[in-house]
Structures are given as C-alpha cells and as structure tokens.
Structure 1
Amino acid sequence: MKRTAFYIICFTILLIFHLSATAVNAQENSSKKESVWKGFKRIDFQFQNRNARIIFPKKAENGNPWLWRARFPDWHTDADSILVACGFHLVYINTDELLGSPQAMQVWDDFYEHIRSQYSLQQKVALVGVSRGGLYVYNWAKRNPEKVSCIYTEAPVCDFKSWPGGFGKGAGSKEDWELLKKVYDFKNDAEALKYENNPVDNLEALAKAKVPIMHMIGLEDSIVPYAENTKRLVERYLELGGPATVVPCDDYVTGAHGHHFAIETPELVADYIAYHAVDHSKLRSEDFHTFKSGLKNAQLSFQQNKFGRIAFLGGSITYNNGWRDSLMAYFKTKFPQTAFEFINAGIPSMGSTPGAFRLDNDVLSKGKIDLLFVEAAVNDATNEYSNTEQIRAMEGIVRHFKKVNPTGNIVMMHFVDPEKITEYNNGKTPEVISNHNKVAAHYKVPVINLAKEVTERINNDEFTWDNDFKNLHPSPFGQGVYAHSMITFLENAFLKYVNEDDKIETEVLPEKLDADAYDKGYLIEPTQKLSAKSWKYEPNWQPTDNVGTRPNYTNVPMLIGSYPGGVLHYAFSGKAIGIAVAAGPDAGLIEYRVDGGKWQKLNLFTKWSNSLHLPWYFTLSGDLSDKKHILELKMAAEKDERSLGRTCRIRYFYVNGEKL
C-alpha cells in the first residue's frame, strides 16, 4: 500500500508546517509593495529586515507548488515565467552577503516557515541556484531534505575552496573569500580549508530522500570549474544512489570565461521542475472544502481587536481531545498577538437538534463569538433524525448564531463513519450531508467535508480504516488527518493581505429555508414548582445503578416520573417543544399532548440505554403556531420489554420561541 508524505505528517509533524510563526506579519504588511512581473502580480516586502518577494500565478496548480530562487533572482527567468504561468509561486529573499553560511540557513529556515504559513504553499519546494547560489540551495537542502522536491542549478558553486577560495584551477575572488571567512566565522584560511560541509560533502541524507538534481554547466567555465564543482558533487551523489542530470551548454557569453551561457531550452528546465515538484497522485484537502463567504470578519476581529472567542459545537468527536487541540494551537501561533478564549461545547451523542436548543446556553451565553465550528453529521444519521429535523435544526443553529452574532463566522464540518464511506463508494452523497449542505449553501457557510476526504484518501491507498483511522472516534493518526485538513482550510480561508482600514461587515440574513427552523431554541431546567402527582423534582440527581452517564447529566436537577398516574403540565410559548432526558436502563414510555389534543405515546428507551444514562432529545412537536401552549406529560402503563422500569428523567424542556 502506498504510504505518502501525507500519512507521515498528519499527526506528528503537521504543526511544524502549518503552525509557523507569524509575528512578522505586521512588518510584511506595512512594507509590501505591489507591482507586475511578466504579467503576474508581484509583492515585495520585508522579512527580518531583508528584501523579499513573491510572484503569484493567475491560478495555482494543485497543491500550491513553488520555486525558490537563491541569488540572482532576475537571471535567466524564462523557465521561471513558464512555471508561474503553469501555477507555481516564485519566491526570493536577499541573503546575498551570507554565501550559504549557517547565518543564511537560519534566515532560510525562518523564511520557509513564514512563506508556507502565509501563502499555504506545499511542503516541498523546488530550489534554484545560479553560480554562488549553489552554496545556498545545497546547504539548505542537506539540512531539510524532506522539504525539497528538486534542485536546479546553473554553473553552481559546490565547494567554496574552488570559488571564491581559488585553491584549485579557478582564479577565485579574494574579496569574496574574505567575506566568506567572516560570515562563516573562520579565523584563517587553514580553518576554512578544513571545513567539511560544503555542498559536495555529506550528501547521504539528500540522496536517501531521492531528491532529483539537475545542473546546467559550461565545460569551459574557468570561474567555477566543472571538475572542482559539479563533477565532484554529481559523482558522489550518483554513488550514493541520488538521481542526477547534467546538461552541458556551449553557447557562451563573450568575456564571461565560460561561466555565463545561454539556456537554449528553458522548456526543458521548466518541465524538469514541474515533473518533480507537482505530485498529481496526491489528493488536495482543498478539493473537499467549500469556502463560500470565507472568514474575513473573524480574521479582522483577531487582528484588530487582539482578542478572539472561538466555539466548538458538536458531539463526541468535538468533545474528545485531538483535532480541536491542534486548531487551538494553530490560532495562537497564527495570531501571536491575539488573546483567545476557546469554548468546547461538544457533548457526546449530540446532533443538530440538541445543538440548536443548547446553543443559547452552551455557546451564546459566553459572550460575542467570532468563529463557530459546528458538526453533527455523524450523530444526526446515527440518531435517526428525519431529513426535516436535520434541516430545521442545522438552520436553527446557523440562523440563531447569526442573529446574535451578525458579524460572526461559522465553519460547518462533516465527519466520517463507515456508513458514509459505503454511501460515497456507492456513488451516493449521504442524506445528512446533503441536508446540512443545503443550509450551508443558503447561508454561505464554509464546509469542510472530512467524510468524503477520508473516503477518497482510503481509496487512494494513503491509509486504511482498520489499521490507521480505526474508528469514527479517530485514532491519533485520524485526528491528525482531520487537523491537517482543517488547518489547510483555515490557511486558505484567511486573507493574505489585510488593509488597516478594512471593516468588519454585518451580514443580512436571507429568508428561512424552513419556516419552522429552530432559530429561537433554548433550554429550561425543571424546577420544584413543576412537581406533580407521580412526578418528583430531584435537585441533585445521580444514578445508583453503576451505569455510565454523560457530562452535565449527573449531579444536576431532574424532574423524574417513575409510575403511571399524575399528569405534568408545562406552559410555554413558541413553535416547538421537546424534552431532553437521561434515557437509561429503566427508561419507560410517556404519553403527551399539546393544548388538549390527542394523546401520543413515545418510547424513551434507545438501543444504547442498557449501558448508559444517555442524553437524548425528543422533539414532541415542531410545527406549532407561534403562541402560548400547554404541554401535558404522563407515564404510560406499558414499557419496552428491554427496559428495567418505567422512568422518565427530564434534564431540560426545550422550546423554539420567545422566553416566557
């Protein structure tokens, strides 16, 4: 089975590439200057007080491949322009006086992390080094072989003893030799000549990584002699098993001592780089993302107000540790000057209906929310909510949130389970995902479809469900898959440039998809005054049968009916009414009616009740007129044959309407 780089980075090192430091963003934004390079947008900016630039393709190639020039960025740019036209980004930072020294390599390390984080470029970069640029590209590639897709050089310096040292057949450069000794901190010539980490040295890791290299050289070059540079490096590289190509050029520039020559076939160079830098076999997380209106308001709030409040609403996959921790770390690193408050409103077993009614209590009551992540696709399907209920509830979450936070942003996520994998592999979109997507499209909410991404990555032999992902509650590796995709989404969703005068915009809501959407949902804890014959108020309920519970469903108030007889009356105002119960091993049947209508029966016992006092939301009526109503509840005489009793434990009443 194919094990791609994606598999390796998903959990253990994904933050290295995506959580790079961005403290220099302010400097970059304040110094940036936009211009045009061969018809493409070019941005010049400052990074660590050095001139840097990036050139943007009109449309990026899959994976956002990029080209990094070392020294002489405006020399022989025909191949560069071909690659930019084909979707490559082109970058450069001026470390010209450092000659590939450890100081230069530290700047390169920092620039790599910054440029990838800012512009969502792929992990592996194609390096281009001209002449002394060889010192830079090889010295950096040897310390970062996993970050290099290929190396292309022209007349490269591969050993500074040859140039600028002049200790071979070449004339060398006395002035540059003195500079080199200074930046490498050599005390004298003897110490420099003993140095054992020139590009020609220590090629083992680069060769083991099978990084392809191509050298364009002049056989008559007397400045950087072929025999002392490319010949030595390539022979060693081949002996170590590394792939290498050498192309001699003989169209020399007069007076350049064979060191300058024309590149007759820039297409050859561009094809070579494109072949090795673009992996068309890998899937892009972006292909499973729908961006819609983006996250501009959240980004502006984080950057301008220096504070951000982010909430996560969902079931057990949200409640558990994993991807959520990675996202919290990401935000802190992406916006280092911003103080964040994170709200984990995940509760196991909860889908969109519980989310719609507990949103007010568990999320909105915490203050203004800048960004909400919401998921419910797994539990909505597992808990067998109807299509209508799924749309009403998800629309209720989105609409309620946006009414309270008209400048807040939402991201909707669809997690994976085996049933969804089967449906996708049968050519069908799971109904629950279609239902939630209708809401997302109507309200222009971005979507991360992790269910489809995981399915297609499994089909692409990147990993397996049984050995790697393992469960709908993902393994650490599976959590990494989720986090990798979400961080990729965020990197693409956040604007690359933010003007100081950009304003946070208030969103105008469209008409409802469903007139009965749960957009005014709230919870009501039972009180002593609701007690009735056969209904007891317990202010601090906890089980005595050693059966498991969920958070917020033990040591809390409960209204408990345990035998037939008395009728409970509850007055409310709104279009929907329901009860949130602890449906454990003794869950019974209830009878209920609204406004004196016909009595209806409802079995509270679920397929999980034998092993858990399961939090469960039962919507008793969802399409009432928007006025005052009376709910009546009583315990039924009969019971489910699997149940040990006839009990109803009400943790909350929930209502879609105005609070009385």
Structure 2
Amino acid sequence: MKMSRNILSVLILFIFNNLVFGQKTETIRGFSREYFDFQGRPAWLMKPKVSAFGNPWVWRAHFPDWHTETDSILLERGFHVAYVNTNDMFGSPTAMQIWDDFYNFLVSERRLAAKVALEGVSRGGLYVYAWAKRNPLKVSCIYAEAPVCDFKSWPMRHGSKDDWNSLLQNYKFTEAEAQSFSDQPMDNLKGLAACKVPILHAISLEDMIVPNEENTFRLVENYIKLGGKATVWPMIKGEKSLQGHHFLIENPEEIADFIEQNSVPSKTVLDPAKYHQIRGGLANSFRKFQKEKFGRVAFMGGSITESSGWRDKFSQYLQEKFPETKFEFINAGIASTGSTPGAFRIGKEVFSKGKIDLLIEEAAVNDRTNGFSSVAQIRGMEGIIRHALLENSMMDVLVMHFVDPEKMADYNAGKEPEEIKNHNRVAEYYNVGEINLAKEVTDRILAGEFNWKDDFKDLHPSVFGQEVYFRSMKTFLNNCYKNTDFTATSRPRVLLKQLDVFSYFRGDYFDIKKAKTLKNWKIEQSWRPDDGVSTRKQFVDIPALVSTEVGSEFTLDFTGTAVGICIASGPDAGVLEYSIDGKQYPKLDLYTQWSSSLHLPWYLVLDDKLKDKRHKLTVKIDSEKNPKSLGNACRIFYFLVN
C-alpha cells in the first residue's frame, strides 16, 4: 500500500524525535551536533571546535544534510550551523513565525551573531527569501542551490499534486489566491537590495524541475535592477540526476569564502529594545485580537506615516502574528500634520471609523517643522492620547518619535529634543508605550552601522531607513507579545486628572456651515486649486469657506476652551484680524514658507485658554499681506473647537 506524503512526514518526525532526541548530541563529520526540541519541533545546532569572533552562523532551510561540504568548511573556520524543522511548510507565514522565534532564541540565548547567512536548497528558497525579505537587516548573505523562486513554477507546474495541495493548505490559499500571489521570492526585493544583502545561486543549466528561466534568472534580474548584488554559478561538471535538479557542487571552498567574507567579522549591533519604553504595553489589544478574532488599528501621523514602508510591514506583522484575526487598518497619516492637528482631526478621521483597539501615533517631526510651541506640543499630544482613552478605555496606544537632522544635532549636542521630551512626558503620564527612533538612528550612525547621506538619506526614510524603523518596531511588538498573558482578563485604563487643563482632548472639527453673518464669504462645496498649485489629496473636493476680498467678515458662535481654523495656505494667502468676545488679538499671517508652491493644509489655534463657556469669534480679512503673497485669500475647511 502506498503511504501518503503527510503520514510519511509525521512518521519521519516521530522517528527523528524518538531516536535523535534521546541522545541529545552526536558527532557528525567531526563536529558536535546538539539536538533539541524547539516549540515542539526538531532542531539542531552544530558547533565548531573553536568559534570565530562574534559567533557567525549559517542557517539551513529544508534538506539540511544535502551537500554539506560548504558547511563543513565553515565549521572548520569557526561558524555554527543551525536548523529547525519547518519541512513541508513552504516558507508560509506560519513557518516564518517559527523562524522569527528560532532566530531570537539563537541570538539571545545562544549568543550567535545578529546577522545570519541563509542557505536554501530547492524549496528552501521559499523559506530563505520569505524570511530575508521580512528581516533584511538580520541577514549577512544568502546562498541558494537550485532555489525555488516562484511556487507557480514549482510545485504548481513542475512538482507533484500532493506538494501543490500541501502548499495551498499551508498558505490557506484558494487556487485563485495562489495564482494571484504577488510576494514570491522574486518579488518585492527592494528592502533586501537596500540593505545590501549579497546573494549567490548555484544552479544546473539542465534543471527541469526548477527551471532557471522561471526562478533564478528572474529573481537575479529583478534584484540587480534594484541595485542588489547577485552572482550565479552554473555547475557544469559531473553527472546530473532528477532531470538536472541534482548536481555536483564543484567549488564548495569558494562558496564558503563567499559566506565568510560577508559574515566575518561579525559586527556588534545596538539592541533596539534600548530605545523602547513598553510601559502599559499592548496586552489589551493583543488579547482582543487573539480572543475576538477582530482588530481595528489606526495609524496617525504625518507624511512618514501616510506613505508606504514601515506601516505596511507593521500591518503584515500583525496579520501573520494573529492569522485567524480579521484586521481593519486605518491610515490617518496626513503630510505636514503634527500633534495639534492630530488632536482636532482624530475624531472625524479615526474614531468615526469604529472602536479602535490599537492607536499608533507620531508627531515629533512635524511639531518641530511646523513651529508648535512647547505648551502646544503637550496639549496636542495629551489631546490625542486622552481623547483615545476616553473613547475606549481598553485601547492600547504606542507613541513613536521619528528622526530628522535637527533632532540628531540635539542628541549629538547632549540634549533631548524639546518635542520628544514633551511627547515623552505625556506618554509616561498615561503609561503608554514609546519607541524613540530618533535617538536610535542617531546612535546607530555614531556607532558606524550606517550613515545618513548614503543609507538613511532623508527625514523621509529611504527603503533602507524604513527597514531600520521596522526592525525596531518588530522588536517592540515581539517583546510585548512575549510578555502578554493571554489567559488574563483585560482591564480598562483608569485616567488621572489632565496633565494640562487646557489640553485638546475634546478637540474636534466644527462645521464651516456654522459661520454666521457672512460678508463676501461663500462656501465652495467641492474646492480644489485653480491656479495649478498642488495641495494634499485629503483637502480637495471638500467644502471650503472662501474669500479673497479685503474686509470680508464672518462670526462664529462656539462653546469650549479653544478655537482655531484649518485652512489651505497657498500662494495668495492673506492676513486675518480677529476677536473673541470683543477682545482683539494680534493679526494672523496665513502665509507660510511653503505657500509659494503648495496650498498647504495649516492648522492655526486662535486661542486655547478660554473659559469653558459660549463664545463669539469674529474674523475679517485685513488689507495687509505678506510681501511674498499674491493676494488676500482665506480658505477654511474646518473650524477647530476644543
């Protein structure tokens, strides 16, 4: 009777566990191999007789005892060789979770190097590239032998039906989903290329099982186009078998040289956890994801949050960590906005979407760029966090601080940037988590791990910089996950009194239709620039209260402690004079340093220390204007009321 592949795999694992685990260690090719159980899976670690400095290591994927000549040479040179059995999982997200944990175990518990050389044979290519793309800064190099680089090639077209069905099951794919999958090893390699991970493929030109035209050649072409360093060595000597898929490795010494040159000396890398404050952690949201199988996560910040990069990898992490959970991700990042805008827009743009379980907030870059005062930074950040916790006392909040040259200059001068100090004060007061990426990037540059000009490049991080950001976030998320007791009952946060009694925690948009006694103002129902100057995509085709005439006037009745306006500050931005309850205030120039080339969404608080009662605001366009302005325009999208 023919035994099914699944039954055979289980039997092999059973024999492996019972025969090998019983003896714990054995000598293979003159080196000690330690066997151990890792999360219920067979695993082993081969040890050199004398470890090279920094404990460099090689991680074997599927088929760990196939073509071991290179490994033996590396063991002689002081490398460790490691393996965990995730066979027949085809590099699926579930397998990647095991790989993440195995890496963390070997680096933290066994003190192996922070960067590992990956070796993938045949279907092992699915594993090494899947993990490397998720963790490019943890990979020194990749050596692959006849690697599968597209599972539509193997096993779909050239493999067995059993293997194909097993892959579908592991990925939880329908046939159609597998056909449309767009993250094969050959896809999305820009992070790996940006992190300068060199790759070497050994192939047979006669391979009909994993054809080069569908696998290695396509991956290498894609990688080189992205700036990646790739080498292909055809093995032409000796006999070929299994339709050219099995072949002799002609030059194991040179392959060992490739791995050694890219792995040694092992450099000490700063621990991201040094820049984290877990505080209240993420246990409430993680338990919700696990138990209720649903999660709503919101990202608030400026352009670095709005654009793709770390946010996509953050979302992917949660989806793979909680594979049975349906997630809804809200991207509330808007370029140029910081804590004050965030406090007033969070109700409409985040909380109106439904109950939020996890809020990610960043405002440090724009709070400095936009010139918000120290007091405003505290009122804005407290406005965001306190509003969030009043909205949902079970919500988890994570505050992050991104880097810019000014913050680096502050840290290098021995002082903490003002906006980070203020945001930290609020985060600590409310016991919410914090990741200080500004300090981390500064320290890594000082330690020589990379540089700003060629690697990180800008406050809008390069692809490499996005990977640096996410590596830190992933460490934070993993540590929170590790420390979460999923059997415990989540408890609501108990709020203390306000840190600042005038903080914007009741901040919200106030409809422009509430303006009264309009003199030469009109509401354009679907405003967009008509002068050829751009604006932010969130601020077109929406209503705007508009006037371009000197002397135009309106009034607004409101109740609260603060009032302001959200405007488009373009090339013709004017000057306003205004009063509240008859009290005259200094004139307000709406023109900014960016107005000549952008109708910039600009949030202006007119007063934020009012008595909490009914007030009347009177606004008038003044005859004065900025010397650089082309007119006297004012375009208001929202009133801001706390």
The C-alpha deviation readout for 1:175-197, integer Å capped at 9, x for no partner, is xxxxxxxxxxxxxxxx9xxx999
Give the equivalent residue in structure 1 for 2:300.
Answer: 313
Give the equivalent residue in structure 2 for 1:436.
Answer: 423
Asked if 1:641 is matched to 2:641, the reply is no
Give the equivalent residue in structure 2 for 1:210.
Answer: 260
Contact 1:210 1:242 in 2 (8 A): yes
Question: What SS does the corresponding residue of 1:348 show, helix, strand or coil?
Answer: coil
Contact 1:126 1:148 in 2 (8 A): no
Alpha-carbon distance in 1 for matches of 2:469, 2:517: 46
Give the equivalent residue in structure 2 for 1:516.
Answer: 502
Which residue of 569, 572, 580 corresponds with 1:586?
572
Which residue of 550, 572, 583 corresponds with 2:558?
572
Alpha-carbon distance in 1 for matches of 2:616, 2:119: 78
Alpha-carbon distance in 1 for matches of 2:619, 2:119: 77
Contact 1:590 1:635 in 2 (8 A): yes
Contact 2:41 2:84 in 1 (8 A): no
Judging changes above 3 Å, is the alpha-carbon distance between structure 1 residues 120 and 629 closer, same or farther for their aligned structure 2 residues? farther
Contact 2:84 2:102 in 1 (8 A): no
Alpha-carbon distance in 1 for matches of 2:451, 2:510: 44
- Deviation, 1:206, is 3.8
- Deviation, 1:476, is 1.1
Give the equivalent residue in structure 2 for 1:627.
Answer: 613
Structure 2 length as normaliser, TM-score? 0.65
Alpha-carbon distance in 2 for matches of 1:471, 1:512: 36
Question: What SS does the corresponding residue of 1:448 show, helix, strand or coil?
Answer: strand
Give the equivalent residue in structure 1 for 2:480.
Answer: 493
Alpha-carbon distance in 2 for matches of 1:508, 1:549: 41
The C-alpha deviation readout for 1:272-300, integer Å capped at 9, x for no partner, is xxxx98x5x32111111111111101110
Alpha-carbon distance in 2 for matches of 1:116, 1:444: 32
- Deviation, 1:446, is 1.0
Which residue of 600, 606, 623 corresponds with 2:586?
600
The C-alpha deviation readout for 1:228-258, integer Å capped at 9, x for no partner, is xxxxxxxxxxxxx999xxxxxxxxxxxxxxx
- Deviation, 1:201, is 9.4
Alpha-carbon distance in 2 for matches of 1:558, 1:442: 38
Question: What SS does the corresponding residue of 1:610 show, helix, strand or coil?
Answer: coil
Alpha-carbon distance in 2 for matches of 1:642, 1:463: 40
Judging changes above 3 Å, is the alpha-carbon distance between structure 1 residues 409 and 123 closer, same or farther for their aligned structure 2 residues? same
If asked which structure has higher relative contact order (CA below 8 Å, sep 6+), I would say: 1
Alpha-carbon distance in 2 for matches of 1:115, 1:419: 40
Alpha-carbon distance in 1 for matches of 2:322, 2:381: 30
- Deviation, 1:498, is 3.9
The C-alpha deviation readout for 1:467-504, integer Å capped at 9, x for no partner, is 111111111111111111111211112135644x3212
The C-alpha deviation readout for 1:21-45, integer Å capped at 9, x for no partner, is xxxxxxxxxxxxxxxxxxxxxxx98
Asked if 1:391 is matched to 2:378, the reply is yes
Contact 1:206 1:242 in 2 (8 A): no
Which residue of 76, 81, 85 corresponds with 1:107?
85
Judging changes above 3 Å, is the alpha-carbon distance between structure 1 residues 126 and 292 closer, same or farther for their aligned structure 2 residues? closer
Question: What SS does the corresponding residue of 2:539 show, helix, strand or coil?
Answer: coil
The C-alpha deviation readout for 1:496-525, integer Å capped at 9, x for no partner, is 5644x3212111012211111100010023
Judging changes above 3 Å, is the alpha-carbon distance between structure 1 residues 497 and 552 closer, same or farther for their aligned structure 2 residues? closer
Which residue of 440, 447, 468 corresponds with 1:453?
440
Asked if 1:334 is matched to 2:321, the reply is yes
Give the equivalent residue in structure 1 for 2:159.
Answer: none
Question: What SS does the corresponding residue of 1:570 show, helix, strand or coil?
Answer: strand
- Deviation, 1:200, is 13
Runs of 4+ deviating beyond 3 Å: 44-47, 49-52, 68-71, 98-102, 108-116, 122-128, 137-140, 142-149, 195-208, 496-499, 528-531
Alpha-carbon distance in 1 for matches of 2:356, 2:328: 9
Alpha-carbon distance in 2 for matches of 1:138, 1:353: 50
- Deviation, 1:547, is 0.5
Judging changes above 3 Å, is the alpha-carbon distance between structure 1 residues 529 and 447 closer, same or farther for their aligned structure 2 residues? closer
- Deviation, 1:462, is 1.6
Contact 2:283 2:484 in 1 (8 A): no
Give the equivalent residue in structure 2 for 1:297.
Answer: 284
- Deviation, 1:600, is 3.0
The C-alpha deviation readout for 1:372-409, integer Å capped at 9, x for no partner, is 11001010001110000000000110000010011011
Corresponding residue pairs, total: 467
> Residue 375 of structure 1 aligns to which amino acid in structure 2?
E
Give the equivalent residue in structure 2 for 1:64.
Answer: none
Contact 2:38 2:84 in 1 (8 A): no
- Deviation, 1:636, is 0.8
Which residue of 100, 108, 121 corresponds with 1:117?
100
Asked if 1:506 is matched to 2:503, the reply is no
Alpha-carbon distance in 1 for matches of 2:314, 2:499: 31
Contact 2:335 2:536 in 1 (8 A): yes
> Residue 117 of structure 1 aligns to which amino acid in structure 2?
D
> Residue 100 of structure 2 aligns to which amino acid in structure 1?
S
Contact 1:120 1:491 in 2 (8 A): no
Asked if 1:654 is matched to 2:640, the reply is yes
Contact 1:534 1:564 in 2 (8 A): no
Tell me how large the CA RMSD over aligned residues is.
Answer: 4.1
Give the equivalent residue in structure 2 for 1:368.
Answer: 355
Question: What SS does the corresponding residue of 1:513 show, helix, strand or coil?
Answer: coil
Equivalent residues in 2 for 1:264-275 (5 A)?
Answer: none
Alpha-carbon distance in 2 for matches of 1:148, 1:526: 56
Equivalent residues in 2 for 1:197-276 (5 A)?
Answer: 202=252, 204-210=254-260
Alpha-carbon distance in 2 for matches of 1:119, 1:99: 16
Which residue of 453, 466, 470 corresponds with 1:466?
453
> Residue 323 of structure 2 aligns to which amino acid in structure 1?
P
> Residue 444 of structure 2 aligns to which amino acid in structure 1?
R
Judging changes above 3 Å, is the alpha-carbon distance between structure 1 residues 608 and 122 closer, same or farther for their aligned structure 2 residues? farther
Alpha-carbon distance in 1 for matches of 2:292, 2:257: 49
Alpha-carbon distance in 2 for matches of 1:641, 1:51: 74
The C-alpha deviation readout for 1:529-555, integer Å capped at 9, x for no partner, is 646112222111121110011122121
Alpha-carbon distance in 1 for matches of 2:109, 2:422: 43
Judging changes above 3 Å, is the alpha-carbon distance between structure 1 residues 427 and 147 closer, same or farther for their aligned structure 2 residues? closer
Alpha-carbon distance in 2 for matches of 1:148, 1:197: 26
- Deviation, 1:458, is 1.3
Question: What SS does the corresponding residue of 1:326 show, helix, strand or coil?
Answer: helix
Alpha-carbon distance in 1 for matches of 2:620, 2:263: 78
Greater gyration radius: 1
Structure 1: gaps spanning 5 or more residues:
1-43, 53-67, 72-78, 80-87, 89-94, 129-136, 150-190, 212-240, 244-275
Contact 1:559 1:649 in 2 (8 A): yes
Alpha-carbon distance in 1 for matches of 2:326, 2:37: 27
Which moves more between the two structures, 570-579 or 456-465? Answer: 456-465
Asked if 1:554 is matched to 2:532, the reply is no
Alpha-carbon distance in 1 for matches of 2:105, 2:421: 31
Give the equivalent residue in structure 1 for 2:395.
Answer: 408
Equivalent residues in 2 for 1:3-152 (5 A)?
Answer: 47=39, 50=41, 69=45, 100=65, 107=85, 113-118=96-101, 121=104
- Deviation, 1:452, is 1.0
> Residue 306 of structure 2 aligns to which amino acid in structure 1?
Y
The C-alpha deviation readout for 1:605-632, integer Å capped at 9, x for no partner, is 1111111000000000101111111111
Alpha-carbon distance in 2 for matches of 1:199, 1:546: 62
The share of aligned pairs that are identical, in percent, is: 43
Question: What SS does the corresponding residue of 1:299 show, helix, strand or coil?
Answer: helix
